[in-house]
Chains A and B, each alone.
Chain A
Amino acid sequence: MATQLIDIAYLVAVVLFVQGMKYMSHPDTARKGNLWAAGGMGLAVVATFFAPGLQNILLSVIAIVIGSVGGWLMSNRIKMTDMPQMVSFFNGMGGAAAALIAVAEVYAMYHGNDLGAAAELLLNPSATTYFYFTALLISLVVGGISFTGSIIAMGKLQGFVSGKSVRWPMQKLTNNGLLVLMAVLMVLYFVLSNGNEAIIYILLVLSLLFGVLFVMPIGGADMPVVISLLNSFTGITAATTGLLFDNKVMLMGGVLVGASGFLLTVLMCKAMNRSLTAVLLGAFNSGGGAASDREIDTTVREISLSDASILLAYAKKVVVIPGYGLAVAQAQHVVHELEKLLESKGVEVKYGIHPVAGRMPGHMNVLLAESDVSYDKLIEMEAINPEFPQTDVVVVIGANDVVNPAAELDPASPIYGMPILQADRAQNIIVIKRSMNAGYAGIENELFYNPKTRMLFGDAKKALGQLVEAVKAL
């Protein structure tokens, strides 16, 4: 009876995982999705305690209480800007847990009362035992890599490990050599008929070492990608642990994370305009993977009024990003005029409003509402950002730091971690600006040198007025 109920609880948990993840990929339902997944996890954990013959329940409960209190406190005390390293830390803990489970299994096998599978491997090696031990070794090695890799990634973001790409002589050789060595040891474990216990511990040490060496050469700017990849690794270890215990909820949850984590890694690379191989192999080439090391091409491309007007009038979708410069130039009325003109030509026009556009939160909404811009055209940052890739033209008017990609890409930048309007993801970017001067934060803006960006120099009000005339003349 109990086992059947547990199986049903696991099934429900898996459904909650899948639906939770599905909800999480949409802004409106994301929070609910997270709660669903958490509920599924809670259900699975509670159900596990009803497994027949389970021992040491009190100890497990104590451990869960300790972990819950710790995790809760940490996640609530962390500053929002320090989120990525927190995620990396938690991921490392998952990897460590998987590796520890494998070690505990091995130790219990060789030193416990019940030799179980080890004895079977010893006496009667079959496909099943090979399968079991392969899963065990993968849990161990991948979990170890995920643990130290995540801790180094966290260190790079937090600053206790150099955020720069750390390199050493014959790095490619040592890293690849280490991988080969681990593979050889795994095979050796099966070949040695007594399944030498020491090999497992050597493998653990090597995998911990590899985690460090694998992440060290990758620059701090690429850490989100690395964390996502290591997250996928932890998913794989959860899946292999599931195979180990013939437990479907672990298998399903693990594979789900492994697959989606890998896809997410690729998507993140794409969003940053880099390939995964470039990020990972960047670790092996001398080219430098971090944004802070990146050579910025400082070519500025200007655009003429007529080109700008054509670009706007024939666009399907235009997003205006107003900043302090627009407020200073009192250009909100001209912007509204341009918006109406473009709408009459069938162009969809929206405003992307950064929470700190202007100088205070909500400042810009007030300014634009004043000039009769319809309220539903003012789109908040969270809502407009996903639309940029489908936006033909972004017009940045007197805004600077709030569109600076360095906030997302360059951990060395003072504004790193600040949420920005991702104007750089649009097809074309027109920047209306008086000069190349730096913004409020006093830092260079990579967006202005983006190959997709054209600059229209001038006072916001005057330039917009000319632009309106140019569009009318088409």
Chain B
Amino acid sequence: MENILQLISDNLQMIYVLVLAVFVGIEVISKVPQVLHTPLMSGSNALSGVVIIGSILVMGKTAPDNYLALALGFLAVVLATLNVVGGFAVTDRMLDMFRKKKK
């Protein structure tokens, strides 16, 4: 119990960030019109590719001779980049259709 309390006070900043981010996440999209559901899903999907940073960091601390860990990290970077780049590009294509047509 004491351990857990200590843990909370040690990570108070992170916990604040976490709790507030939940509210921001909900607030930011609470009034989204239905036509935008798919693009928004696609856009936030691209955003979840933020794990790319984790994959770069995990690569960054792997010893250059630890080949299996390197291979795993390399694959993680490739896949996360697919998620990010593909995700944002496909969202942009979708949203292109929402552009007002000038007569």
Chain A positions near chain B (C-beta within 8 angstroms): 17-18, 20-22, 24-27, 30-31, 33-35, 37-38, 41, 44-45, 48-49, 51, 53-57, 59-60, 62-64, 66-68, 70-72, 74-76, 78, 80, 83-84, 86-87, 89-91, 93-94, 96-98, 100-101, 103-105, 107-108, 111-114, 126-128, 130-131, 224, 227-228, 231, 234-235, 237-239, 241-261, 263-264, 267-268, 271, 380, 382, 385-386, 389, 422, 425
Flag if B60 contacts A71 (CB, 8 Å). Answer: no
B43 touches A267 (CB 8 A): no
Check B79 for interface membership: any CB of A closer than 8 A.
Answer: yes
Q: How far in angstroms is the closest Cβ of chain B from A138?
A: 13
User: Is A30's CB under 8 angstroms from B63's CB?
Assistant: no
Check A249–B53 contact: CB distance below 8 A: yes
- Closest chain A residue to B103 by CB distance? A375
- Give residues 36-90 of B contacting A (CB, 8 Å): 36-64, 66, 68-70, 72-90
- Asked, given contacts A54-B60, A75-B89, A247-B53, whether A93 binds B25 with beta carbons under 8 Å apart, the answer is no
Q: Is A71 in contact with B89, judged by CB distance below 8 angstroms?
A: yes
Interface residues of B, Cβ cutoff 8 Å to A: 3-4, 6-7, 10-11, 14, 17-18, 21-26, 28-64, 66, 68-70, 72-99, 101
18 contacts between A and B (CB under 8 A): A22-B28, A25-B40, A26-B32, A30-B36, A31-B92, A38-B46, A41-B52, A45-B84, A70-B82, A74-B82, A93-B83, A97-B76, A105-B58, A108-B69, A112-B66, A131-B7, A250-B50, A264-B29
A386 touches B53 (CB 8 A): no
Q: Is the CB of B17 within 8 A of A104?
A: no
B69 with A67: CB separation less than 8 A: no
**CB contact between B77 and one of A60, A80, A105, A382 (< 8 Å): that residue:** A60
Once bound together, how far apart are the Cα atoms of A320 and B68, in whole Å? 63
Known: A64-B52, A259-B24. 6 other contacts (CB 8 A): A22-B28, A38-B92, A80-B94, A97-B77, A237-B48, A255-B22
Q: Closest Cβ of chain B: how far from A208's Cβ, in Å?
A: 14
Minimal Cβ-Cβ distance residue in A for B77: A63
Q: Which residue of A lies closest to B42 (CB)?
A: A87
Q: Are B51 and A97 interface neighbours, CB within 8 A?
A: yes
Minimum CB–CB distance from A387 to chain B (whole Å) comes to 9
| A231–B28 touching, CB < 8 Å | no
Residue pair A386, B95 in contact (C-beta under 8 Å): no
* One of B21, B53, B57, B97 near A382 (C-beta < 8 A): B97
Of A94, A128, A245, which is within 8 A of B79 by CB?
Answer: A94
Residues in B with CB closer than 8 Å to A258 are: 22, 25
Q: How far is the CA of A111 from the CA of B72 in the complex (A)?
A: 13
Within the assembled complex, what's the spacing in Å between the Cα atoms of A213 and B62?
34
Partner of A251, one of B21, B42, B98: B21
Q: Of B34, B80, B93, which is within 8 A of A93 by CB?
A: B80
Q: Are B55 and A57 in contact (CB under 8 A)?
A: no
Q: Indicate if the CB atoms of B22 and A63 lie closer than 8 Å.
A: no
Q: Give the distance to chain A from B97, nearest Cβ to Cβ, in Å.
A: 7
Q: Which residues of A contact B51 (CB under 8 A)?
A: 94, 97-98, 101, 234, 237-238, 241, 250, 254
Q: Among A21, A80, A111, A130, which residue has its beta carbon within 8 angstroms of that of B47?
A: A21
Q: Quote the shortest CB–CB distance from A269 to chain B (angstroms).
A: 11
Complex Cα–Cα for A94 and B60 (A): 19
Q: When the two chains form their complex, are residues A25 and B74 in contact, meaning their CB atoms are under 8 A apart? A: no
Whether A27 contacts B72 in the complex (CB less than 8 A), given A18-B28, A34-B92, A63-B78, comes out as no
CA distance A105 to B5 in the complex (A): 27
**Are B81 and A90 in contact, CB atoms less than 8 angstroms apart?**
no
